[in-house]
Amino acid sequence: MAEKIKWGVIGCGGIAARRTIPEFKKMCTHGELVAVMDINPETAAKVAAQFEIPHYCATEQELLQHDISAVYIATPQNVHCAQVVRAAEAGKHILCEKPMAITLVEVKIMEKAIRKNGVKFMLGFCMRNNVYNKKAREIVHSGVLGQIIMGRAELTGWYPLIVGAWRQDISISHGGALIDMGTHCLDLLEWIMNAKITEVGGFQDLMTHKYPTPIEDASTIVLRFSNGAHGIVDNYFNLPDATAQNILELHGTRGSIIGQGTIGQDSTGKMFSIIQKKEVGYDANQIRNIEVPKEEYVFEGIGLYGQMLDIFSSCILEDKESPITLEDGRHSVAVVNAIYKAVKEKKIVKVKD
Ligand SMILES: NC(=O)c1ccc[n+]([C@@H]2O[C@H](COP(=O)([O-])OP(=O)(O)OC[C@H]3O[C@@H](n4cnc5c(N)ncnc54)[C@H](O)[C@@H]3O)[C@@H](O)[C@H]2O)c1
């Protein structure tokens, strides 16, 4: 049997137990799960039993002593920095959930520990693994859309008051719909366009829910990219799940791509493109969509989270850099913080990594 990377998990609550561990068990050919840890020992014990994982514990110290070479960190973001540093110091490669950290100062501390200890790092922007998002990137890169004019990414759902939920406590989450869901959208647009966000502005409000601390349940953000394109990222905790379209749009001078439901935890969705094969002159009648065929794409999805651990396992085995780097993580933190600043100060802010 080919060599496999031995993994430990730090934080086995929501995303780890619902998506990452089950998908990992089902599809990871380059890794195996050896131990899980959660600050709540019952959570760790339950996950270990459910997924037949040999070891569980309630302290990082114990987890890091196991014969593992990589850890998946899926805890609330206010502890990512300290946990990444401890894992790096123990010589473990690290796959950390998004957002990487809360501040750029934390990112610097994490980078230093990772570089000093020579371990690999990958950030959990798993939505890049959606087969439709990959196709959108391929189409944009082929140039058939012409000059890229605008990209939009939406991720939305219903998230009411839940007593004790860390996402609703700004001292832990550092924000609401943007930091939770918008981080994926911002990254996807940059990755698909191969361009960086340079300027940001927008509106955020706590419109609907009675959260105990002021995190936004509505976030509507405008962006400028390094390729000159504009962007919109919109995220709401106060729209019904049933109406969430989770739209991806890319518009260029020669055509558009429209995805529906391709942004989210599921590996599926729908997508079509409308592309003009040749330049069309000015038409004063403004007739739309004449003789421009719509191409629909139908693909089989593969678990986004399982793929993430499998990809990182291969990077470790083959001693390659991960596809989602420290630089991506640092930039994402810089963009998110620039957006919160822009909203607070009611102005357009330049992103400084
Ligand atoms: N990539 C994605 O699509 C995606 C989706 C959901 C969540 N996330 C990210 O994953 C992280 C966890 O989110 P969640 O929804 O799973 O949260 P959660 O609250 O459901 O689970 C977190 C778990 O971490 C445990 N925990 C808390 N502090 C800990 C500590 N210091 N040490 C060890 N365990 C600790 C909790 O007991 C809990 O079981 C967040 O950063 C979130 O943004 C990413």
Ligand 1, atom 14: closest residue by C-alpha: 14
From the CA of 10, give the closest atom in ligand 1. Answer: 33
Q: How confident is the model at residue 1 (pLDDT cuts 50, 70, 90)?
A: very low
Mean pLDDT on 123-136: 97
Question: Residues 21-34: pLDDT tens digits?
Answer: 999 999 888 999 99
User: How much distance in Å is there from the Cα of 74 to the middle of ligand 1?
Assistant: 4
Q: For residue 348, what pLDDT is reported?
A: 98
CB distance 122 to ligand 1 below 6 Å: no
From the CA of 180, give the closest atom in ligand 1. Answer: 43
User: How much distance in Å is there from the Cα of 41 to the middle of ligand 1?
Assistant: 15
User: How much distance in Å is there from the Cα of 199 to the middle of ligand 1?
Assistant: 30
CB distance 79 to ligand 1 below 6 Å: yes
- pLDDT higher at 1 or 183: 183
pLDDT at 72 over 80: yes
From the CA of 19, give the closest atom in ligand 1. Answer: 5
CA 79 → CA 42, 176, 270, distances in Å? 20, 17, 36
Q: For residue 165, what pLDDT is reported?
A: 97
Domain with CATH 3.40.50.720 in the chain: 5-125+305-322
Q: For residue 353, what pLDDT is reported?
A: 84
Mutate to test the pocket of ligand 1, among 97, 159, 304, 328 (most ligand atoms within 8 A of CB): 97
Q: How confident is the model at residue 283 (pLDDT cuts 50, 70, 90)?
A: confident
Topology at the third CATH level for domain 131-263+268-301+333-350: Dihydrodipicolinate Reductase; domain 2 (3.30.360)
Q: DSSP 3-state assignment of 231?
A: strand
Ligand 1, atom 39: closest residue by C-alpha: 13
Domain with CATH 3.30.360.10 in the chain: 131-263+268-301+333-350
d(CA 99, CA 331): 11
Q: For residue 86, what pLDDT is reported?
A: 98
Ligand 1, atom 25: closest residue by C-alpha: 11
CB distance 39 to ligand 1 below 6 Å: yes
User: How much distance in Å is there from the Cα of 147 to the middle of ligand 1?
Assistant: 39
Burial class (CB in 10 A: 0-12, 13-18, 19+), 49: exposed
Q: Whose CA is closest to 27, among 19, 15, 17? A: 19
For the chain, the average pLDDT equals: 95
User: How much distance in Å is there from the Cα of 222 to the middle of ligand 1?
Assistant: 28
Mean pLDDT on 97-101: 97
Question: Residues 306-330: pLDDT tens digits?
Answer: 999 999 999 999 999 999 999 999 9
CB distance 265 to ligand 1 below 6 Å: yes
Q: What dotted CATH number matches 5-125+305-322? A: 3.40.50.720
pLDDT at 87 over 90: yes
CB distance 174 to ligand 1 below 6 Å: no
Mean pLDDT on 135-159: 97
CB 76 within 8 A of CB 38: no
pLDDT at 292 over 80: no
- Give the rounded percent of residues in the chain with a pLDDT score beyond 70: 97
pLDDT at 2 over 80: no
CB distance 11 to ligand 1 below 6 Å: yes
Mean pLDDT on 287-308: 85
Question: Residues 212-254: pLDDT tens digits?
Answer: 999 999 999 999 999 999 999 999 999 999 999 999 999 999 9
Q: How confident is the model at residue 188 (pLDDT cuts 50, 70, 90)?
A: very high
Q: Whose CA is closest to 340, among 191, 228, 158, 173? A: 173
